[in-house]
Structure 1
Amino acid sequence: MQDSPPIRDAATIILLRRDAGGSSVLMGMRGAKAAFMPSKYVFPGGAVDIADASAPLARPLGEISRRRLLEDPREGHVPDPHAIGAAALRELAEETGLLIGTPDGPRSDWPGYAETGLSPDASQLHYVFRAITPPGRPRRFDARFFVVDAGVITGDPDDFGRACDELSHLHWVPVSEARALNLPFITEVVLAEIAELTDSVAHHDPLPLPDTVPFFDNRSNVPRFAQII
């Protein structure tokens, strides 16, 4: 029997656009030939790279998110909150062309940030969900999901001109309609959590941190569900 692939840290960004008419999320479709979740609609995101650990950020993740990222580590592995937060911002820039940054901070050589002179800002990312890919899949990730208000995007949130071709059909989807798309199971679960989170506050109020972070733990053949406090 073929060995299960190693579990890699990954980061995903849920960009949330809120107004009086409701909330929308940014999603795109993975290619039909993709090794992981082909033809599925997903949020922007991807694996953490080694260079993310030393990527310059104008501001780090908030202290609560950083602390929660360190909880319940995989055996023999210490997660790096800085690298995970940096990966989320880098993947967002690569896959959508959208930037979350400030001119006041260390210079970044990431595409988009380098051209604009902006420094990536992780302080507005809220850690809201975690899921480990079950055994038997061609690729496995320990994925952390962050929600961020689209109001912090630097530039036009509808301009995807700098996006790479990894995700197609990038568009803002009303949260109430998103679950009708061809989604991975875990994305459906995350959308339900996001709907509950946004229903608790008015659209003009800041996004709250969740009381706990739901965790779908599939690192072994025995699934486990936990809440990270």
Structure 2
Amino acid sequence: MEGMTRSQVDKAESRDFALGQGPKRPRDAATLMLLDRKGNDVLVLMGRRHSSHAFMPGKLVFPGGRTDPADSRIAVADRLPAPDEARLIATTSRASAARARAIALSAIRETYEEAGLLIGRRTPFATTKPDWQGFVDHEVQPMLAPLRFIARAITPPGRVRRFDTRFLSAWRESVAVELPDGGPTNELEELVWLPLEEAKQADVPAITRTVLEELQQRLAQDPHLRPGGAVPFYRMIRNRFVRDLL
């Protein structure tokens, strides 16, 4: 998508986003690309959004969503790796470490809510925050150390909803509990593990395909996804979609 004009991006994403009137400020959001290995393939978890949704209807996406205020007040078992934490902090207003942690935690929470997968460490865990009671019930304390910051993208103007999305990744081995019936919400109609190349060819939003390509390139250079890799940043500047590095 790099270098595309506003009209070209609108055309490419015409089936991904409902258009809306007036300027809208992007909201902080995070999504998790959960990875597994099968033979020589790396698989990624994806789910299909309901066709009635205004944002990416019917598309295969990664679990994720908007960051909530309560996400900043959750006790974690460990911190993000220092290089990834520093880059994530740099994406927040006033370089806030608390906001960066909240963004990372929102990816973990959404992965539980939408896919029934709890990333963390098996140990008694307590919080009064309603959206985190699944972790309390299953005695899982969220962990941030397994997460890697892969990419950032801001939804172009003119959409009914806009997000400043941080794409994070982790390996399936960081999942402490897998609920057999999935998560408590109905955001995703189905969940599938797809090889990366197959995921790129599926019915995914244009930016999702772009980020999958970025992930493939990073894995080719670093199959273990060590902390501190370069993070591409996609956004619209002066009517053109650009790619920078954080």
The two structures have a TM-score, normalised by structure 2, of 0.82
Q: CA 1:120–1:220 in 2, change beyond 3 Å: closer, same or farther?
A: farther
Residues 114 and 182, structure 2, Cα contact 8 Å, conserved in 1? no
What is aligned with 1:166? Answer: 187
Q: Which one of 23, 40, 51 corresponds to residue 70 of structure 2? A: 51
Residues 134 and 221, structure 1, Cα contact 8 Å, conserved in 2? no
**What's the RMSD between the two structures over aligned residues?**
2.3
Q: Cα offset for 1:199?
A: 2.5
Q: Which amino acid aligns with 1:214?
A: P
1:61 equivalent in alignment to 2:80: yes
Question: 3-state SS of the aligned residue for 1:159?
Answer: coil
Question: 3-state SS of the aligned residue for 1:89?
Answer: helix
Q: Which amino acid aligns with 1:212?
A: A
What is aligned with 1:3? Answer: 22
User: Quick one: distance in 2 between partners of 1:189 and 1:168?
Assistant: 23
User: Quick one: distance in 2 between partners of 1:5 and 1:197?
Assistant: 32
1:118 equivalent in alignment to 2:154: no
What is aligned with 1:199? Answer: 220
What are the equivalent positions in structure 2 for 1:125-204 lying under 5 Å apart? 125-156=147-178, 159-201=180-222
The two structures have a TM-score, normalised by structure 1, of 0.88
Residues 58 and 106, structure 1, Cα contact 8 Å, conserved in 2? no
User: Quick one: distance in 2 between partners of 1:172 and 1:166?
Assistant: 17
1:214 equivalent in alignment to 2:232: yes
Q: CA 1:207–1:77 in 2, change beyond 3 Å: closer, same or farther?
A: closer
Q: CA 1:195–1:224 in 2, change beyond 3 Å: closer, same or farther?
A: closer
Q: Cα offset for 1:160?
A: 4.3
% same residue: 36
1:22 equivalent in alignment to 2:38: no
Residues 94 and 111, structure 1, Cα contact 8 Å, conserved in 2? no
Q: Deviations over 1:103-136 (max 9, x none)?
A: 3475245143121111111111000100000000
Q: Which amino acid aligns with 2:149?
A: Y
User: Quick one: distance in 2 between partners of 1:165 and 1:33?
Assistant: 12
Residues 10 and 144, structure 1, Cα contact 8 Å, conserved in 2? yes
User: Quick one: distance in 2 between partners of 1:173 and 1:27?
Assistant: 7
Q: Deviations over 1:46-97 (max 9, x none)?
A: 00011111122121212111110132556x7857111101101111110001
What is aligned with 2:89? Answer: 70
Q: Out of 120-129 and 104-113, give the one that drifted further.
A: 104-113
What is aligned with 1:34? Answer: 53
Question: 3-state SS of the aligned residue for 1:155?
Answer: strand
What are the equivalent positions in structure 2 for 1:87-102 lying under 5 Å apart? 87-102=106-121
Q: Which amino acid aligns with 2:173?
A: G
1:226 equivalent in alignment to 2:236: no
Q: CA 1:131–1:39 in 2, change beyond 3 Å: closer, same or farther?
A: same
* Unpaired stretches in structure 1, ≥5 consecutive residues: none
How many residues get paired?
Answer: 223
Question: 3-state SS of the aligned residue for 1:14?
Answer: strand
User: Quick one: distance in 2 between partners of 1:174 and 1:73?
Assistant: 32
Residues 89 and 95, structure 2, Cα contact 8 Å, conserved in 1? no
Question: 3-state SS of the aligned residue for 2:150?
Answer: strand
Q: Which amino acid aligns with 2:24?
A: P
Question: 3-state SS of the aligned residue for 1:112?
Answer: helix
Q: Cα offset for 1:152?
A: 1.3
Q: Cα offset for 1:169?
A: 1.5
